[in-house]
């Protein structure tokens, strides 16, 4: 008789769940420190290897769009701040910063713009990061 076998996957479903939950590195599968926010994340070792820096961009509408950047710990502000004239410039800044502009990401960004404030995680190159480290 014929034996039915399931197709072999390169990753177990439990590993996939942990990776998508932000509990393990999406590259080397090592454990990540809490808090475990959903989404694929790199550990510090892999992140330095790929040359990207995670930076949080917080934006708020007053008379113009004010953007402030925070380190990955969400406590340390970077010196450079931007004042942008339109919401389109906020979207362009997020795109240049490596923000994931899939359907979910675009909806979250648009929601923040409609509310007049929001924030997104950027993946910056070392050159972009160094520009934020220097005040105007």
C-alpha 4/C-alpha 14 separation (Å) is 23
User: Quick one: what percent of the chain has pLDDT higher than 70?
Assistant: 88
Query: Higher-confidence residue: 6 or 124?
Result: 124
Each residue's pLDDT tens digit, 73-129: 889 999 999 999 999 999 999 999 888 888 888 999 999 999 999 999 998 888 889
Tokens of 31: 């454990």
The pLDDT confidence band at residue 22, using thresholds 50, 70 and 90, is: confident
pLDDT given for residue 6 in this prediction: 45
pLDDT given for residue 64 in this prediction: 95
Q: Does the model's pTM come out above 0.75? A: no
Phi then psi for residue 125, to 5 deg, are -75, 165
Concatenated DSSP letters for 73-113? TSS-EEEEEEEESSHHHHHHHHHHTT---SHHHHHHHHHHH
Cα of 41 vs its chain's centroid, Å? 8
Q: Is residue 132 helix, strand or coil?
A: helix
pLDDT given for residue 19 in this prediction: 85
pLDDT given for residue 11 in this prediction: 64
Q: Where are the chain's structural domains?
A: 12-50, 51-133
Give yes or no for a contact between 122 and 97, defined as CB atoms under 8 angstroms apart: yes
C-alpha 62/C-alpha 44 separation (Å) is 35
């Amino acid at each position: 008789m014929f034996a039915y076998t399931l197709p072999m996957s390169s990753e177990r479903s439990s590993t996939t769940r942990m990776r998508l939950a932000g509990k393990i590195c999406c590259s080397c599968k090592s454990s990540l420190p809490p808090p475990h926010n959903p989404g694929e994340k790199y550990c510090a070792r892999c992140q330095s290897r790929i040359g990207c820096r995670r930076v949080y961009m917080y934006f708020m509408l007053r008379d113009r769009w004010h953007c402030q950047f925070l380190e990955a710990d969400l406590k340390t502000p970077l010196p450079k701040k931007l004042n942008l004239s339109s919401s389109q410039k906020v979207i362009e800044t997020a795109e240049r910063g490596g923000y994931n502009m899939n359907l979910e990401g675009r909806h979250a960004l648009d929601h923040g713009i409609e509310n007049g404030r929001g924030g997104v995680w950027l993946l910056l190159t070392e050159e972009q990061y160094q520009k934020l480290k220097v005040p105007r």
